[in-house]
Amino acid sequence: MTEMDTRIVQLVDEGAAQRIRELEAELTDTKTMLASSDMERESHMDRLEILENVIESLCHQFAYEGPGTSITTGGLSVLEEAFQALGWEDPHPVPERCCDEPGCSAIADCGWPSDAGYRRTCGHHMPKEWK
């Protein structure tokens, strides 16, 4: 290899090394940007989950009860929008809120201690002494 050839190889090596350093810096920047974007995304998802839970709680608190073990918007536009945001049908079934009296499908709106343990029933099945 001539002296010129050696110099050319040396220049190419230096150029390649410089380019590798630039690419490494770009990669580091990109990784930093992605990590920050992931954190932002996670924060947005947390916030969306909180908002969804709040809307759901508001619906459970303010939607009309019935028919049966379901809640309905009753045609109230703000509830219709909330149900739509949650992807709920109107009426929306709420089996988890059913009166625990066998055969009753009304929504339980009271809880009381009984000899058989704590019960959640509709007003009709609540003992007189608790009314």
Q: CA-to-CA distance for 78 and 84, rounded, in angstroms? A: 10
Q: CA-to-CA distance for 82 and 76, rounded, in angstroms? A: 10
Q: Of the listed pieces 17-25, 30-38, 39-47, 116-124, which binds Zn ion according to CB under 5 A?
A: 116-124
Which one, 87 or 102, has the nearer CB to Zn ion? 102
Residue 125 engages Zn ion in binding (rule: CB under 5 A):
yes
Alpha-carbon torsion (75, 77, 79, 80), positive or negative: positive
Strand partners, 32: none
Residue 104 engages Zn ion in binding (rule: CB under 5 A):
yes
Which one, 56 or 68, has the nearer CB to Zn ion? 68
Tokens standing for 66? 């019935």
Could you tell me how many residues of this chain bind Zn ion (CB under 5 A)?
A: 6
Residue 101 engages Zn ion in binding (rule: CB under 5 A):
yes
Sites of contact with Zn ion (CB under 5 A): 99, 101, 104, 106, 122, 125
